[in-house]
Amino acid sequence: MLLPKRRKLQNPHILVAYFSRSGNTRRLAEVICRQTGGRLFEIQPQNSYPASYEKTVVQAREEIQKGFLPALLKQAEGFDQYKTVFIGSPNWWGTLAPPVASFLAGRAAAGKILVPFCTHGGSGGEEIGGEIARLCPQARVLSAFEAYGPRVKTGAVKKQLGKWLRRIGMVR
Ligand SMILES: Cc1cc2nc3c(=O)[nH]c(=O)nc-3n(C[C@H](O)[C@H](O)[C@H](O)COP(=O)(O)O)c2cc1C
């Protein structure tokens, strides 16, 4: 007997945009998509970062110090149609990874709700929301969800994420 396919939850007003070098932030983005029905969009720089962690750390520091905004591989189609945009970034040197800043810089985000989420290596992600608000002053920026990178696969983080989504009114 054929079982009916489980209907995939979809919400045409939610975009979940993220950048991830080593997969932690991607994992959060995927869970957010599953829970909210939003569309997933990966922010990718045209020139990927070096495979070496150390080289990436050095390059990222330089880019952040200079305020360099790397060119992106593609833009999110129909950005204007989304009312709510989740913005995911790893904490890089205490701030947004440069491709995420590129994604936001110069965007007309008036009337949008931007929802930051972040993974980090121990120093949290509080500054991320402030940086998003600085880049998109006309948007409403909600409080961020942050998780320690090595713990994103745990059930505890998934549970916290679900609680946060309910608290900010994104899922019932
Ligand atoms: C260039 C670079 C800079 C980083 N800077 C910080 C930092 O300042 N504070 C911190 O807690 N973690 C820092 N990390 C660790 C990452 O935030 C952490 O591993 C994150 O979960 C990686 O996410 P991803 O797997 O989505 O790329 C840094 C990592 C890289 C590659």
Whole-angstrom distance, CA of residue 137 vs CA of residue 134: 6
Determine the Cα–Cα distance for residues 161 and 159; give it in Å rounded to an integer: 5
Backbone angles phi, psi at 138, to 5 degrees: -90, -5
For the beta carbon of residue 92, count every other beta carbon within 10 angstroms. Answer: 25
48 Cβ below 6 A of ligand 1: no
pTM (2 d.p.): 0.95
CA-CA distance, 151 to 68, in Å (whole number)? 30
Contact of 82 with 16, CB cutoff 8 Å: no
Distance (Å) from CA 36 to ligand 1 centroid = 26
Q: Ligand 1 within 6 A of 25 CB?
A: yes
**pLDDT tens series, the chain, 172 aa:** 666 666 667 899 999 999 999 999 999 999 999 999 999 999 999 999 999 999 999 999 999 999 999 999 999 999 999 999 999 999 999 999 999 999 999 888 999 999 999 999 999 987 899 999 999 999 999 999 999 999 999 999 999 999 999 999 999 8
Q: Which residue has the tokens 């360099």?
A: 68
